[in-house]
Structure 1
């Protein structure tokens, strides 16, 4: 059976373009995605880089306002940068106008100051699925599983630390991730009580018809917490291909039936570029290595280069991004469908989440259209 496909969008800014145009592109892609039969449209939260989804909750409201059926949500709200009340009230506000369509995805990125340099590559018991002694890439039934990327390899952490400081009030401390998830659940359910015992009710927000998700990239806290709470889980293969399969396994091992789910539900992400043939797709994806290098080098996501400006990467640059290049799904519809089917088979994913970045918006639209058609999604009838 063909599983649903959904879209993850960062609202990338292309070289020579603007944030304003990137936001217009996001709304247009979401409208097309709804017509092409995609199941969800999720927005990522990233700050102080060349993507326009920094205020992802605001953008979710704009996408919901410009679509009518597709589910819209966050992938994910970085809860360390927000209070639980502000998250629930914001999603409650959108849900009040577009009820029953929102996915409230939560991630712990905002809690991870220590990740860059002091945390191990596999925190809280996560284990690599490759031979780390040799650093060899494993091919598992057609799925590339590279050695896990160690964030400690990022030499310049100054921008990351400065960004975290700018996103929090002076002296503020993010609560424990699990505690904050409990707060969000309580606020949604109407059972929240403050530290001094006073009941508080989120208006709007309480009893909002949102679906709660947790996101993770390793077999650590997020995967285990999602399983223990019986929540749906999204594993970020497109960001952390060396540990995403661990995340899926840890989630399933920890899963307990809940009011949310009777059985585990897993979404797995992949970065794709689809074109009429393999050669054209490879050309359109030429800027991807430079884009990822900016992220891995500590600069953050830069403006996405056009193919003609994306020259070869140096050996040192390649060493920092080779895992992401090896696990990007680039090619004709048939090529990409074959690789996505392998990813679904190996992970047992209930749904796949695809993200695509190209310099020209028209090429990104075509990438998603071709994939929807080749995957067999049923296009929505015009109202």
Structure 2
């Protein structure tokens, strides 16, 4: 049986506020747990159209309002930070909510260059240390036993018996290679690239080297989701995300996610329609039956049993219904 998980980026619809949408994210996590979803992740994006950029702060709030669902980051943009501090944050989260914490990490900046410059203002080096940072995370989260590490003996506290699961997020062979060579989990961001990554995931599994973190490979694939009672209704709801992505691609200012009624009035050009068609490769749009069939096919193509789904809609109730319909179609929980 497929495992379904949720990534909520806390997008702010036009007319709403960050505070309201943060409340909705918490409500959605509680609903996801009742419906039988496997994980609930929150993201780091330094953008005005999203409700937050600090998953390490939102995770404990969500975990405290749920009881069984795994909670994690999708993801922490590691190059901005000290691997040691990230390890301390997530060791503490694991101590507070043992067996429920995922540490998803990514290389991307997660925002505009101005935000990146501010985040890295006092860094003395700007060369790529991402691979070293991942190794450092493993070092700190597994007890700091490597006698050759440059910070030999330094432990990330608290000193506990369990550890969060590390997931490398990416849409390329490079990130998959980092995950496989370090023996950690890999999440392929189909919803970012729009390109089929079956060969990337296959190479990750074939090249996987068992580690102190885990003995066997684990993969998941991420898509945007728009699910409704019918294919026609889903197509209508999807116009909101179509326009949002289009505005990002064109560098247009957005005051929030538009309703489908507002989005359909956007002055699309022929080029815009082409961009929309290309962006649809990042999404699963349709009725529960349509989306279920697509996921089952993708599961075979990717040879994976877990999908991470993100929904961007103007109406929170439509978003909730989207996840409810899919959970019912898969029989996640009666």
The residue aligned with 2:4 is 5
What are the equivalent positions in structure 2 for 1:57-76 lying under 5 Å apart? 57-76=56-75
Cα deviations across residues 327-376 of structure 1 (Å, max 9, x unaligned)?
42111111111111111111111211111111010000000011001012
Summarize the Cα distance change of 1:345–1:166 in structure 2 as closer, same or farther, 3 Å threshold: same
2:113 aligned to which of 157, 161, 167 = 161
Q: Is the 8 A contact 1:215 1:235 kept in 2?
A: yes
Q: Which residue of 1 aligns with 2:51?
A: 52
Alpha-carbon offset, residue 171 of structure 1: 4.2
Deviation at 1:291, TM superposition (A): 1.1
Mark the runs of 5 or more structure 2 residues left unpaired by the alignment: none
Measured in 1, the distance between the counterparts of 2:307 and 2:196 equals 17
Task: Give 3-state SS (helix, strand or coil) of 1:73's partner.
Answer: strand
1:100-249 to 2 correspondence within 5 Å? 100-110=99-109, 160-173=112-125, 176-191=129-144, 199-204=153-158, 207-219=161-173, 221-242=174-195, 244-249=197-202
Within 2, Cα distance between the matches of 1:269 and 1:65? 25
Q: Deviations over 1:178-218 (max 9, x none)?
A: 10011111111221789865632222366552111111101
Q: CA deviation at 1:263?
A: 3.1
Call closer, same or farther: CA 1:91–1:263 in 2, change over 3 Å: closer
Q: Which residue of 1 aligns with 2:250?
A: 297
For the residues of structure 1 that align with 2:106 and 2:279, how far apart are their CA atoms? 21
Q: Which consecutive unaligned segments of at least 5 residues does structure 1 have? A: 113-158
Structure 2 distance, partners of 1:205, 1:275, is 46
| Count of residue pairs the alignment pairs up | 330
Structure 1 pair 257–196 and aligned structure 2 pair: CA distance change class (3 A): closer
Question: Hey, what's the Cα distance between the residues in 1 that align with 2:88 and 2:242?
Answer: 38
What secondary structure is seen at the aligned counterpart in 2 of 1:239?
Answer: helix
Going by fraction, where is helix more abundant, 1 or 2?
A: 2
- Secondary structure in 2 matching 1:77: strand
CA RMSD of aligned residues (A): 2.3
Q: How far apart are the structure 2 equivalents of 1:356 and 1:109?
A: 21
| SS of corresponding position for 1:304 | coil
Mapped contact 2:142–2:212 kept (Cα < 8 A): no
What per-residue deviation string (whole Å, max 9, x for no partner) do you get for residues 87-109 of structure 1?
11111222222111001111111
1:315 corresponds to 2:315? no
Residue 197 and residue 64 in structure 1: after superposition, are their counterparts in 2 closer, same or farther (change >3 A)?
closer
When normalised by structure 2's length, the TM-score is 0.91
Deviation string for 1:80-132 (max 9, x for gaps)? 1111122111112222221110011111113x9xxxxxxxxxxxxxxxxxxxx
Alignment TM-score, normalising by the size of structure 1: 0.80
**2:295 aligned to which of 329, 340, 344:** 340
- SS of aligned partner of 2:222: strand
Say if 1:14 and 1:305, in contact at 8 Å, map to a contact too: yes
* Greater mean alpha carbon deviation, residues 86-95 or residues 332-341: 86-95
Q: Is 2:48 aligned against 1:95?
A: no
**Structure 1 residues 331 and 201 mapped into 2: Cα distance closer, same or farther (>3 Å)?**
same
